[in-house]
Structure 1
Amino acid sequence: MKETFLGVDVCTYTYEQLVAKLMEDIDNNRKSFIVAINPEKIMKAQQDDRLRELLNQATYPIPDGIGVVLASILKRGRIRSRVTGIDMMLRLCQEAAARGKKIFLYGAKPGVADEAKRRLEKMFPGIQIVGTMHGYEKDEQVIKEAINQSGADILFVALGSPAQEYWIANHMHSLSPKVYQGVGGSFDVISGRIKRAPLLVQKLGLEWLYRLLKEPWRWKRQLALPKFLIKVIRE
């Protein structure tokens, strides 16, 4: 089930519903593409038809911004909580460990995916991370062979957005994993290189404010949130 905001689809599923559907997709040999949707991406898609088409290719476009939740409430929709990219990844890792599904980590700077692998193995005993590769490898054939030979069911791609989503859209049909998710800086967070907002701040949906206070130069990007909500109200 999906809702549409300014021409961009967002699904209404909870974490639990998404995990169940993704495991079902793996078991039924169906390919799935998860994309995190936030107001910034939706606003960029207003001027970029190619980006809008890319976002709407997603099997599961998740509501990764508090602005999307607020927009759904304003439109009397069904979305009442965020489904963040990193938490979706961690939920998938937890379920993969429980069900014996295999994972490949691709992207970020050299060494980051390897450290994220070690941290995930401590977090989820029994998890099978069958391969890692940093995002600076440029030989597409090397990347493709490493992923396909690993036997992975799930591929997490950390190349930054929207580059990672374009990469997935262009390559998923020639790769063997069933579930694909672009995860941005999640490997950096999991590896401990970047600190995430405190849990209470996350629960209040104020990670954007935490990042703004830590990185004030982001203020222009944060203007997308009020502009988005105003445009949704006018629509």
Structure 2
Amino acid sequence: MKENILGVDVCGDTYEQLADKLLEDIEHGRKSFIVAINPEKIMKAQQDEELNHLLNQATYQIPDGIGIILASMLKGGKIRKRVTGIDMMLHLCKEAAIHQKKVFLYGAKPGIADEAKSKLEEMYPGIQIVGTLDGYEKDEQVIEARINESKAEIIFVALGSPTQENWIISHKDKLSPSVYQGVGGSFDVISGRLNRAPAFFQRFGLEWLYRLLKEPWRWKRQLVLPKFLIKVLKG
């Protein structure tokens, strides 16, 4: 079941429910596209029709951000748990290892996807990561050939948003994978190059506060959340 928040669809499924649906999509050869939704993206989509259309084209829009939970509560919706982009990726990797589904990592700076591959192989013994490719490769034929030759069923795309989502939309119908997820800087975090907020901040949806404490100059960006919630209330 999806809820619509200021014109953008958001799924209410848990990690487990989404994983079940995605495994079913793979079995039936259906193309699935996962996009993470947060208040910043929704606010940008208010002024950008193309972005709005792009977000709503996804098969599954996951509620990545405490602001989405608050918005759902304010509107009488039922979304009560976040599904973050990186945790969705990790949950899918766990399921891929269990069900022997092939995974491809595409994007980030040279070497990062390979480092993320090594870490994921440690975390999920038996996982089949059948290929990696950095985001600096510009030859479309090389990119498509590498992905298709790998026979991957799940691909994680780390090109930054909305570049990665646009790439997925324009390429998914000519590539072998069934499941596509844009994962932003997740390879950097998994590889250990970038630190994630401590578990306490994650548990209470306070990553934004952790980032603000670490990088106080980001305070203007944090104003998006109250503006978003006021707009939701008015809407």
TM-score relative to the length of structure 1: 0.99
Note the alpha carbon deviations across 1:143-189, whole angstroms, 9 max, x for none. 01000000100000000011100110111111110000000000000
Gaps of 5+ in 1: none
Gaps of 5+ in 2: none
Alignment of 1:1-235 (within 5 A): 1-235=1-235
Note the alpha carbon deviations across 1:46-74, whole angstroms, 9 max, x for none. 00000000000000000001000000011
Note the alpha carbon deviations across 1:30-49, whole angstroms, 9 max, x for none. 00000000000000000000
| Percent identity between the two aligned chains | 74
d(CA) in 2 for partners of 1:67, 1:97: 32
Runs of 4+ in 1 over 3 A off after TM superposition: none
* Aligned residue type for 1:118: S
* Aligned residue type for 1:29: G
d(CA) in 1 for partners of 2:142, 2:218: 36
d(CA) in 1 for partners of 2:169, 2:136: 19
* Aligned residue type for 1:178: S
TM-score relative to the length of structure 2: 0.99
Note the alpha carbon deviations across 1:205-229, whole angstroms, 9 max, x for none. 0001111211223222221111110
Note the alpha carbon deviations across 1:60-119, whole angstroms, 9 max, x for none. 000001000000011111100100000000000000000000000000000000000000
